[in-house]
């Protein structure tokens, strides 16, 4: 019996199918590239829908989800700084995120307060921990719900160790490096004592940046809370006492808004409406305050509905492939 061979028509069909799949893949990739190119161009030009017409009294910026990029939030705060609006509410619902974006947002808030004499109030939703609390510490006042999870003052760096699995499947890595610490955190081998000590020193350095930022931003409320606990005048409390007072709670633990209020880490217990009223009072706004929300433009919302992944999740995926220090809870 003769073996059946592929007929010319079958070969043509397969070739057509491969070409069709190739063109489809090309157009999909081209579409994604064009969409992100347009998104980048619009973002660079400040092309979000903006409430900053100069007629508002209180502006609202929401930080929802993990913080792995700061460009958009920083742009919004800078627009607020240039406007004639009196105050800003920063609505936080976030477990924190990467160190540098949290620090950049923190610095921009301080600039709005100190250089532009604006009022900024943090309103905490369900979760405002670690990097989100770092950001809140830069604000004039912090309002949290009693059940808000906040605090989590600390730094984390995680590294997978797949050396056991690689050994089982017979995969070995040959590494050429310029210094003994260059491949620290490689998943292909266990970490040695020197590397662990080096990374611990780095984490400790970044932790103290966080801790000092909290002390600087919350010094007076912490001083008053400690004075009340010790039953002394606030003026007798020095900086070292404040640090020793809050250090036991700066071990990465998340605490409730109720506990944070007792410690002086937040100023008031209440919901979003309470934060609005407090902001209006601080800004000297008479009558019912008007709040204008700065939300992503329609183009950004279209991206979220079309694409199966967000820009933030992409950034997180890429950043987690290398050394990444995070102010993150959970």
Distance separating alpha carbons of residues 131 and 68, to the nearest angstrom: 10
Reply yes or no on whether 130 is catalytic. Answer: yes
Residue located via tokens 């266990």: 190
Joined together, the tokens standing for residue 56 give 């508002």
- Exposed e or buried b per residue across 292-317, where buried means at least 16 C-beta atoms within 10 angstroms of its C-beta: bebbeeeebeebeeeeeeebeeebbe
Residue of 14, 177, 180, 182 marked active site: 182
Neighbours of 181 (CB within 10 A): 12
Neighbours of 224 (CB within 10 A): 14
Joined together, the tokens standing for residue 262 give 């007792």
At 60, give phi and psi (nearest 5°): -130, 125
- DSSP strand pairing (149-151 vs 254-256): antiparallel
Residue located via tokens 């900024």: 120
* Nearest in space to 211 (alpha carbons), one of 263, 246, 259: 246
Cβ pair 60, 88 in contact under 8 A? yes
Point out which residues pair with 328 in neighbouring strands.
Answer: 96
* Nearest in space to 142 (alpha carbons), one of 160, 119, 176: 119
Residue of 130, 152, 186, 223 marked active site: 130
Active site residues per annotation: 130, 182
């Amino acid at each position: 019996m003769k073996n059946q061979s592929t007929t010319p028509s079958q070969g043509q069909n397969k070739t057509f199918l491969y070409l069709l799949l190739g063109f489809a893949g090309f157009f999909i990739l081209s579409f994604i590239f064009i969409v992100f190119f347009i998104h980048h161009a619009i973002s660079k030009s400040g092309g979000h829908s903006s409430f900053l017409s100069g007629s508002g009294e209180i502006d609202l910026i929401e930080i929802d989800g993990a913080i792995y990029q700061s460009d958009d939030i920083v742009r919004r705060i800078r627009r607020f700084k240039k406007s004639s609006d009196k105050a800003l509410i920063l609505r936080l619902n976030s477990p924190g995120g990467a160190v540098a974006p949290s620090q950049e947002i923190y610095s921009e808030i301080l600039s709005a307060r100190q250089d532009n004499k604006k009022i900024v109030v943090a309103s905490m939703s369900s979760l405002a921990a670690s990097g989100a609390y770092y950001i809140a510490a830069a604000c004039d006042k912090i309002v949290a719900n009693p059940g808000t999870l906040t605090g989590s003052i600390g730094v984390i760096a995680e590294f997978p160790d797949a050396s056991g699995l690689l050994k089982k499947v017979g995969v070995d890595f040959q590494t050429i490096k310029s210094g003994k610490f260059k491949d620290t955190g490689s998943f292909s081998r266990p970490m040695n004592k020197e590397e662990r000590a080096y990374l611990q020193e780095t984490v400790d350095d970044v932790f103290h940046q966080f801790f000092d930022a909290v002390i600087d931003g919350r010094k007076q409320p912490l001083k008053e809370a400690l004075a009340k606990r010790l039953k002394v005048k606030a003026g007798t409390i020095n900086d070292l006492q404040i640090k020793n007072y809050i250090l036991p709670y700066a071990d990465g633990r998340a605490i409730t808004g109720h506990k944070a209020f007792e410690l002086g880490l937040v100023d008031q217990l209440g919901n979003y409406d309470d934060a609005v009223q407090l902001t209006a009072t601080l800004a000297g706004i008479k009558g019912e305050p008007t709040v204008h929300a700065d939300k992503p433009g329609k183009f950004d919302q279209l991206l979220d509905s079309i694409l199966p992944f967000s820009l933030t999740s992409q950034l997180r995926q890429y950043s987690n492939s290398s050394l990444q220090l995070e102010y993150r809870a959970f």
